[in-house]
């Protein structure tokens, strides 16, 4: 449902209300640039949206949002639960400016017991679950996974090598020598006994460590009575490794539940930290800190409520979630999460006992993490304020993008940008571009920069919810600035960001950089100032990222040869061709007659080679 573009703000919203049903659903508010301002849910869309027409009753921040609304969209849902799920999904996807937003979200690592090989492999896994096997997790970090894998190897001696290495082994590897692998690859252990180790490891990961420990103790006693002392010593070592699991958890191991997430929140200084502790199989599988984006006047309970809805949109949901605050929408959340997971989910704020102690522990961790973050962000805030003064920005930049190119004589050319803001470098937002334009001459930095900017900002214009940079820094001088300015002008995006080019000083000396901006004379900054040092760090990070990506691409190309894909070309003929022409590119440009002159290349093969490169 689209509205008349000539009206906006409270007038537009009132017009939309006249056509809205009193049903549950989700609504979206857009500004004049088609950027999503806000995504909301409602049990009754008509009542909820009507509230926005009382313009003066809202705080200044929401008045600004209402005033900026130029269009609205609505989705009718079957229930309020469905509306909650859709709202959380859209917020994560579109990242609206006025919503409480979960930042720094990521996929969590798992332990995978691969079952697509007779000798099962145990390994770390992240991403889609396409491999046949059993998945255990999530773990809060790669470090937590590695610690658990280390314990599993010491206890159960399971292989972690790839199938190709497994199949190529003719004698046990070093891991077998240090008692970290049973070496099923060379038959040091029978298939039946190795399967038993896998079953024991899965019992441990499923929280059956007590039963496993009892079984191992019985096996050790039996081996001792039968005078199989080496076997008894092996089982003793496994029991000792299992006893170290308490240390693996890094703290409290719950006694009153085996599976659940403990979520503690602490707010201060206008910011919030939420700590999530993962408990699976009766063990602590690590914790992570999150800092959701919200306004200073948002109620902490609303922040936690929105966080939980968004956090579990793409993660397995445990049976129990213990939280630090009573949530008014607790029942709705439980229903929505239950529908998503296909089982009953409980969300509660414990008031006493072990669960309350675990929640308090999460709150203390959140308080400590937020204290560290506020101390770090105080200096970052000062730097960004100084950046705004330096480049005449209206406000400190929330998002800075820094662009650089990398190539060697035009080969393997790539463009790249890095992202920085109030929270420092945002490495998840870094991007690279393979230079594709065939008309770009090798080494033409201006053409490369035009292509990168055209592709980057065309996408920003097309896609809803993309966050525009407040400041764009380009590594280069007047030429690069002109190339970028022309490109953004052609796209109609020049007025939506500030462009600055950073040229290296005389003799490429750091500290003597020259800054170029449109409608302003070039200038320098006093040496050894925090602002200059920060800008140098941004430029150097962009250069590091660009050249690192370029080197990785070049290394990959160096491992391949254009001649490898030609049928009938083995090592001998390939060597002869390269010796005759000097390079694979010269072979590619050779005629049929020239190819026939190479020793060992028949007329038919010459035709095959020529057609391969000229089809």
Share of residues in the chain with pLDDT > 70 (%): 91
Quick check: do 9-94 and 562-614 share a fold? no
More reliable by pLDDT, 176 or 324: 324
Domain ranges of the chain: 9-94, 110-248, 260-372, 400-557, 562-614
Hey, what CATH topology would domain 260-372 get?
Nucleotidyltransferase; domain 5 (3.30.420)
The CA R_g of the chain, rounded to the nearest whole Å, is 31
* pLDDT at 24 exceeding the cut of 70: yes
Reported as a single tens digit per residue, the pLDDT across 245-281 is: 544 444 566 778 888 999 999 998 788 999 999 998 7
Rounded Cα distance, 610 and 325, in Å: 72
d(CA 338, CA 345): 5
**Residues 562-614, CATH architecture:** Orthogonal Bundle (1.10)
Q: Tell me which of 3.40.1440.10, 2.40.70.10, 3.40.50.150, 3.40.50.1820 is the CATH number of domain 9-94.
A: 3.40.1440.10
pLDDT digits (tens, 9 = 90+) for 114-157: 988 889 988 888 887 888 888 988 888 788 888 888 878 888 88
- Band (584; pLDDT cuts 50, 70, 90): confident
Tell me if the bond preceding 138 is cis, omega within 30° of 0.
yes
Strand ordering across the sheet containing 71-76: 36-42, 25-30, 71-76
CA proximity to 59, closest of 297, 343, 226, 229:
297
Q: What is the mean pLDDT of the chain?
A: 85
The pLDDT tens digits of the residues spanning 294-323 come to 988 889 999 999 999 999 988 889 999 999
Q: Which two tokens stand for residue 301?
A: 């309970």
507 Cβ contact list (under 8 Å, min separation 6): none
pLDDT bin (cut points 50, 70, 90) of residue 436 is confident
Superfamily holding 400-557: UvrC, RNAse H endonuclease domain (3.30.420.340)
Tokens of 401: 């993008």
Q: DSSP 3-state assignment of 187?
A: coil
Inform me whether the pLDDT recorded for 554 exceeds 80. Answer: no
Instruction: Quote the CA–CA distance of 84 and 86 in Å, as a whole number.
Output: 6
Instruction: Label residue 564 by pLDDT band (50, 70, 90).
Output: low
CA-based nearest residue to 315, from 102, 68, 587 = 102
pTM for the complete prediction? 0.64
């Amino acid at each position: 449902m689209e509205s008349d573009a000539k009206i906006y703000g409270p007038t537009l919203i009132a017009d939309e209300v006249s056509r809205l049903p009193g049903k549950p659903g989700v609504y979206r508010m857009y500004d004049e640039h088609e950027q999503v301002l806000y995504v909301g849910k409602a049990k009754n869309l008509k009542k909820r949206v009507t509230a926005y027409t009382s313009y003066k009753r809202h705080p200044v921040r929401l008045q600004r949002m209402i005033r900026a609304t130029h269009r609205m969209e609505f989705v009718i849902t079957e229930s309020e639960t469905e509306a909650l799920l859709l709202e959380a999904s859209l917020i994560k996807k579109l990242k609206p400016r006025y919503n409480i937003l979960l930042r720094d979200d990521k996929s969590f690592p798992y332990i995978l017991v691969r079952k697509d090989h007779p000798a099962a492999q145990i390994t770390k896994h992240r991403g889609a679950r396409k491999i046949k096997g059993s998945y255990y997790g999530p773990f809060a970090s790669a470090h937590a996974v590695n610690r658990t894998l280390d314990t599993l190897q010491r206890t159960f001696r399971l292989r972690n090598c790839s199938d190709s290495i497994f199949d190529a082994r003719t004698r046990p590897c070093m891991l077998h020598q240090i008692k970290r692998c049973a070496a099923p690859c060379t038959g040091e252990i029978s298939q039946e006994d190795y399967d038993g180790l896998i079953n024991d490891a899965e019992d441990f990961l499923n929280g059956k460590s007590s039963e496993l420990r009892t079984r191992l103790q019985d096996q050790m006693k039996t081996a001792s009575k039968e005078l199989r002392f080496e076997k008894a010593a092996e089982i003793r070592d496994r029991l000792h490794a299992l006893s170290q699991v308490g240390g693996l958890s890094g703290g409290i191991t719950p006694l009153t539940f085996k599976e659940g997430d403990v979520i503690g929140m602490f707010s201060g200084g206008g910011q919030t930290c939420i700590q999530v502790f993962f408990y699976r199989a009766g063990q602590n599988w690590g914790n992570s800190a999150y800092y959701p984006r919200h306004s200073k006047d948002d109620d902490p309970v609303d922040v936690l409520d929105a966080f939980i809805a968004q956090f579990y949109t793409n993660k397995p949901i445990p049976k129990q979630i213990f939280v630090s605050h009573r949530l008014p929408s607790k029942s709705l959340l439980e229903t929505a999460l239950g529908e998503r997971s296909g089982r009953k989910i409980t969300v509660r704020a414990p008031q006493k006992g072990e669960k309350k102690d675990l929640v308090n522990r999460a709150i203390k961790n959140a308080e400590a993490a937020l204290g560290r973050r506020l101390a770090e962000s105080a200096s970052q805030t000062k730097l960004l304020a100084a950046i705004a003064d330096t480049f005449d920005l209206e406000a400190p930049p929330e998002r800075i993008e820094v662009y650089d190119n990398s190539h060697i004589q035009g080969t393997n050319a790539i463009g790249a940008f890095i992202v920085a803001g109030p929270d420092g470098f945002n490495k998840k937002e870094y991007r690279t571009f393979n230079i594709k334009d065939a008309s770009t001459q090798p080494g033409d930095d201006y053409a490369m920069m035009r292509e990168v900017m055209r592709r980057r900002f065309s996408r920003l214009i097309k896609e809803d919810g993309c966050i525009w940079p407040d400041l764009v820094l380009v590594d280069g001088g007047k030429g690069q600035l002109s190339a970028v300015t022309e490109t953004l002008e052609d796209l109609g995006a020049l007025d939506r960001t500030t462009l600055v080019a950073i040229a290296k000083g005389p003799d490429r000396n750091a500290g003597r950089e020259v800054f170029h901006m449109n409608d302003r004379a070039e200038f320098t900054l006093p040496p050894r100032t925090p602002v200059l040092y920060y800008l140098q760090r941004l430029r150097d990070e962009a250069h590091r990222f660009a050249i690192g990506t370029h080197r990785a691409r070049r290394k990959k190309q160096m491992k391949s040869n254009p001649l490898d894909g030609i049928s009938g070309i083995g090592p001998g003929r390939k060597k002869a061709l390269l010796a005759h022409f000097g390079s694979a590119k010269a072979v590619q440009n050779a005629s049929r007659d020239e190819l026939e002159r190479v020793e060992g290349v028949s007329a038919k093969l010459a035709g095959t080679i020529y057609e391969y490169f000229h089809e």
